[in-house]
Amino acid sequence: ADYRWPSLQYDALEEFLYEGIRPDGSSMADLVRPCKMRGGTNTTVAAEWLRLVYHDTATHNISDGTGGLDGSIFFETHRAESFGAGMNNTLNDFSAFPNKYVTRADLIAVATVWAVATCSGPVIPIRGGRVDAETAGPFGVPTPADSLESLTANFAKQGFNVTEMIQLVACGHTLGGVRSPDFPTIVSPGSNPSDVVIALFDDTQQFDHKIITQYLDSTTQDPLITFNQTMASDRRIFGSDNNATMQSMATPESFSSTCVKIIDKMLNTVPSTVTLTDEITLLPVKVSAVQLTLAGSQMQFQASVRLIQSTSTTSVNMYWCDRYGAAADCKSGLKRFAAPGGSSTVSSPTSEAMGVTLKKYQFVVPVDVSQSVAKFWFVVDYGNGTKTVADNGGTNYVVEQDDVLWVPSQSRAKSVLTGSHGWLITAAVKTATAPKRVYMDCFGRATTNYIALNATFDLALNSSLPAVGGYEFYTGTAMGEFGQSMSFELTSVAADGKVAVDTYRQAGLIGVALAATSAVNTTTSSSVGGKSGAWAVAPPWGVLGLLSVWTLATL
Ligand code: HEM
């Protein structure tokens, strides 16, 4: 409820959940939507993803608080209880997307929410903060040959009673099916042994209640009911309370609401040492990709703002205060502003299922080094007479410092240069601070061995890049397989010991084309925001002020 930018973990989780992309534009959401079939099979990518999340969760032990949704599945797909091409396809889908603030375990949870939503299912709420295991966990995923007693005891160990066991299996087995190469004693291979035969659990690929109604009216084709009675775990589970739970889920509405609750519970089944975040809800105004930098011979400021489109005529301008000089912090009432240089629509299965259209506006503006930028905000015009100021709840979006600045245009993926892994990173540091050390703390989670990589590297003065406007350039190499979603913090320590940090920079932004540079205008109007000082008290619009995260000032 108290969101303020920047909230790094929340920002990253929210961006991933609702936009589904990495900074370099690769989309994990596109791998699964629209309820996409897995190439060469008659099952969906969504089904493969949904099976994987359960196999990660199923090792939870409610009595000692160990196991659960912790990404340990990445180390377990060679096990008989978790094998199958679908599992390895899924790990391939996921491996390049986790980042510092979206762990592999959180990513599995987001993927589950998308898998359900993109196959016409409901929107499942989600929290973040899951912590990644770095080794395999205990064995114990239930298998089709287990007796009802063993299945019931296993689900009880995971924290699910009999009713919940029936609900969870039914909500899982509405997607996908059983494959001949994985379970030849359940599904016979075709005449050509290399053909993969997949016997679907129900006759649709949608996340729907057919798994229930076809079971109740005895038209079910679920191979774990009909094919091999030793391996008929769904038959044993679904019938274990005389069909009471199955009957209670027989309408689209009851199926949907039951699955929301039980999948939410599965996603929150985490080791007891983990504290989950608040639910990740859609921010009405989302600021991202903020970077003060040097480009060519001048200072440049970049920022993006994402808005929920409520009218087709929405337009937005970015405003800012200088950092230095006569108009520092807008003291003289002078604000600068610019229109966006580009915009794009972003979406994920979650935002699509919510029916919202999200548009991201990108600003790239030249800045005089002697003025720099202190803080910025946005004025949104919905084109229907309503204008609002989006100013981070009255505090504005503050640019913390300009002593050390990342320079993406002078940074490269190291493979481009030498064929080896890593990133070449350049920073601009104010010459007047006479830095005694410039270094970067790098973090990568999208590594090939699934172990997060954390390392510090020094940057050295790069005399091949001529000084610009009182800044000198420092370059260093992050050596190691940090992966596409490497992030880093740049620190410079001045001669007097003062420390400046350019926080949470994402290497994936290197080489990404920026929007066109916009013309800069000035105004002294008092009706465009940018008042000095923060709101001392909560804004007066009650519930709206609590729900939203920005100041809604109708002008
Ligand atoms: C008693 C517990 C369970 C047993 C014995 C079981 C067994 C199986 C088996 C044998 C398959 C076929 C896999 C293959 O051929 O590669 C399968 C597929 C699947 N399972 Fe389960 N399952 C159980 C619980 C769950 C739960 C709780 C969920 C999710 C909430 C789930 C989701 C899925 C999905 C979506 C598929 C289809 C995968 C695809 O089409 O690629 N299962 N299950």
% residues pLDDT > 90 (the chain):
86
- Mean pLDDT for 147-171 is 98
- Mean pLDDT for 226-241 is 96
Residue 110: pLDDT above 80? yes
- What gap in Å lies between CA 555 and CA 439, rounded to an integer? 45
**Closest residue by Cα to residue 86 from 141, 130, 25, 40:** 40
Measured N-to-C along each axis, helices 162-172 and 148-158 cross at an angle, to the nearest 10 degrees, of 90
Q: Whose CA is nearest to atom 31 of ligand 1?
A: 172
Q: If residue 366 lies in a helix (H) or strand (E), which one and from where to where?
A: strand 358-367
pLDDT tens digits, one per residue of 478-490: 988 888 899 999 9
Written as one letter, the residue type at 78 is H
Residue 305: pLDDT above 70? yes
Written as one letter, the residue type at 133 is A
Higher-confidence residue of 543 and 84: namely 84
CA distances from 535 to 160, 374, 538, 552 (A): 47, 17, 7, 13
pLDDT for 90: 98
Distance of CA 325 to the CA centre of its chain: 40
* Residue 2 confidence class, pLDDT cut points 50, 70, 90: confident
- What gap in Å lies between CA 192 and CA 180, rounded to an integer? 12
Q: Which of 158, 167, 173, 228 to mutate to test the pocket of ligand 1 (most atoms within 8 A of CB)?
A: 173
pLDDT for 190: 83
Other beta carbons less than 10 A from residue 176's beta carbon: 26
Where is average pLDDT lowest: 40-44, 243-247, 471-475? 40-44
Domains of the chain with bracketed CATH: 9-267 (1.10.420.10), 285-402+515-547 (2.60.40.2440), 412-509 (2.60.40.10)
The SS3 assignment for 467 reads coil
* Residue 111 confidence class, pLDDT cut points 50, 70, 90: very high
The whole model's pTM is what? Answer: 0.94
Is the ipTM of this structure higher than 0.90? yes
pLDDT tens digits, one per residue of 501-537: 999 999 999 999 999 999 999 999 988 988 643 333 3
Mean of pLDDT over the chain: 93
Other beta carbons less than 10 A from residue 74's beta carbon: 25
Tokens 């890049």: give the residue: 465
* Residue 550 confidence class, pLDDT cut points 50, 70, 90: very low
- What gap in Å lies between CA 174 and CA 46, rounded to an integer? 11
- Mean pLDDT for 109-131 is 98
pLDDT tens digits, one per residue of 324-333: 999 999 998 9
Residue 38 CA: nearest ligand 1 atom is: 41
pLDDT tens digits, one per residue of 257-268: 999 999 999 999
Residue 551: pLDDT above 70? no
Pocket lining for ligand 1, CB < 6 angstroms:
43, 47-48, 50-51, 54, 84, 86, 142-144, 151, 168-169, 171-173, 175-179, 182-183, 233, 237
pLDDT for 531: 65
